[in-house]
Amino acid sequence: MAQTVLCEVNNCSYWASGNKCNAETIYVVSHHGREASTTEETDCKTFKPEA
């Protein structure tokens, strides 16, 4: 299992220096409940805007 998750969304509250995600859990889903074939067909539900 990956030990480091990289993220470039610096307005997320889980974003950390070095483009690292410091969320304890990452939740990724496919669009519209269909099986994803490409990266573009997925969404990160872990995103939480900075306060």
Tens of pLDDT, residues 11-21: 999 999 999 99
Tell me the C-alpha distance between 31 and 18, whole Å: 28
What was the pLDDT predicted at 51?
A: 83
What was the pLDDT predicted at 33?
A: 78
Q: Where are the domains of the chain?
A: 1-51
Dihedral of alpha carbons 38, 48, 11, 5, sign: negative
**Which CB contacts under 8 angstroms, 24+ apart, belong to 1-4?**
none
Around Cβ 21, how many Cβ atoms within 10 Å?
Answer: 19
In the numeric block, the tokens 């990724």 are attached to 28
Q: Which residues pair with 49 in a beta bridge?
A: 12
